[in-house]
Chain A
Amino acid sequence: MAQLKVRIQRGDGMAEYGVAARENQTVLDVVTEIQREQQPDLAYRFACRVGMCGSCAMEVNGVARWTCRTHVRKVAEDGTLTLRPLANLPVIRDLATDMTPFFDKWARARGQFQPKDAPNGAVPAEFAVVPPSSPKRQEADAGIECIGCGVCYASCDVVSWNPDYLGPAAMNRAWTLVNDVRDGGRRERLDAVAGDAGCHSCHSTQGCTERCPKNLDPSSAIAGLKRSIFWGVLAR
């Protein structure tokens, strides 16, 4: 059976492994096989294996990807896979990164829903009715399927230049809530995502949109935030 060459970043160096090249195998299958058969102390992260949980993202041949839904035959170059941990995040060990800065920025961008009707956390008496065809609902729908995998964050040049930059995922979440008619935190949220560490530093190079495994468009979400803040500033 043909062999697949797999180079994996471990500490400061690269370790090399050989596994059988199969007709159908994902990058995550390959990493799991190496961990089970050859390198039991190899650290990596996964949970659902079906593209829902957002925990298995890594850099595959220089490109951040969700490895559970990435077929080896589509990304291997000359029968070789080179795997590194996601860029722009601290490495815990091997292929496992510390996602804390990534999710802290969601909180900084006010990514929590703040119900307008129940500011004290009370449950409103009635369900809110939001017509699916309304423009705001559709704008919110466009970004709502984010699984928090960090692929966009690792693919963003602005994050690599400015570690304080909120990044595409946090601002995509903020834009979703700005368009949520039930939410009451619009003003504070727009303030939180403004400025040099927020949407105004985005160069719109769309690395996030290009790489998002869910085909979301954080770049347009960030443009929406810029637009809302610009007209908000004029209106104040």
Chain B
Amino acid sequence: MRGQVHLWAAQRVSAVFLAVAVFVHLATIMLAVRGGLSAAEIVARLRGAEGWLAFYAVFALAAGIHGAIGMRNIAGEWLGWRGRGFDALWLGIGLLTAGFGIRAAWGLYHA
């Protein structure tokens, strides 16, 4: 029970962060493409930028946590997928999602 309460709290807290982060992400995209989109420009903005690295690392982590907990709830209600085995599966999927995002942010930081 305690674990389930923490999952619920983690999903709400990650949602609060994502609400702001998605806005920042989209606004940045809209501003960045005004002069045309090029790989060189993206790399120039993100290489060595600790702020963007931190922002996207936390963003990816929040998205992984939020998405996996949500999928866990939906699968439990609609498919009856409940129990420790499935919890481990969703934990894996959440960490994998976050891992891909963090790897991308790290790659651009070091590009």
Which A positions have Cβ atoms within 8 angstroms of B?
158, 161-162, 191, 194-196, 198, 200-201, 226, 229-230, 233-234
Contacts and interface: CB of A to CB of B under 8 A. Distances in A.
8 contacts: A158-B77, A162-B77, A194-B2, A195-B4, A200-B4, A226-B8, A230-B9, A233-B5
Contacts of A195: 1, 4-5
Contacts of B34: none
Interface of B is mostly: helix
Given A196-B82, A230-B9, A233-B9, A161 B77 contact: yes
A162 B76 contact: yes
A99 B49 CA distance: 62
A191 B9 contact: no
Which of A200, A201, A229 is packed against the most chain B CB atoms within 10 Å?
A200
B6 A233 contact: yes
A164 to B, nearest CB: 9
B4 to A, nearest CB: 4
A233 B10 CA distance: 12
A158 B82 CA distance: 15
Contacts of B78: 161
Interface of B: 1-2, 4-6, 8-9, 12, 73, 76-78, 82
A191 B2 CA distance: 8
A196 B9 contact: no
Contacts of B73: 196, 201
Contacts of A201: 73, 77
A219 B71 CA distance: 23
Nearest to A160: B77
A57 to B, nearest CB: 25
A162 B72 CA distance: 14
B77 A194 contact: no
Contacts of A198: 1
B46 to A, nearest CB: 35
Contacts of B2: 191, 194
Nearest to B78: A161
B77 A191 contact: no
A21 to B, nearest CB: 42
Given A194-B4, A230-B5, 16 more contacts: A161-B77, A162-B76, A191-B1, A191-B2, A194-B2, A194-B5, A195-B1, A196-B82, A198-B1, A200-B5, A200-B8, A201-B77, A229-B5, A230-B9, A233-B5, A234-B9
A201 B77 CA distance: 9
A196 B4 CA distance: 6
A170 to B, nearest CB: 15
Contacts of A230: 5, 8-9, 12
Which of B1, B4, B5, B12 is packed against the most chain A CB atoms within 10 Å?
B5
A234 B6 CA distance: 10
Among all A-B residue pairs, the 6 with the closest Cβ atoms: A195-B4, A195-B1, A161-B77, A200-B8, A194-B5, A194-B1
Contacts of A226: 8
B82 to A, nearest CB: 7
Which of B1, B6, B73 is packed against the most chain A CB atoms within 10 Å?
B1
Nearest to B77: A161
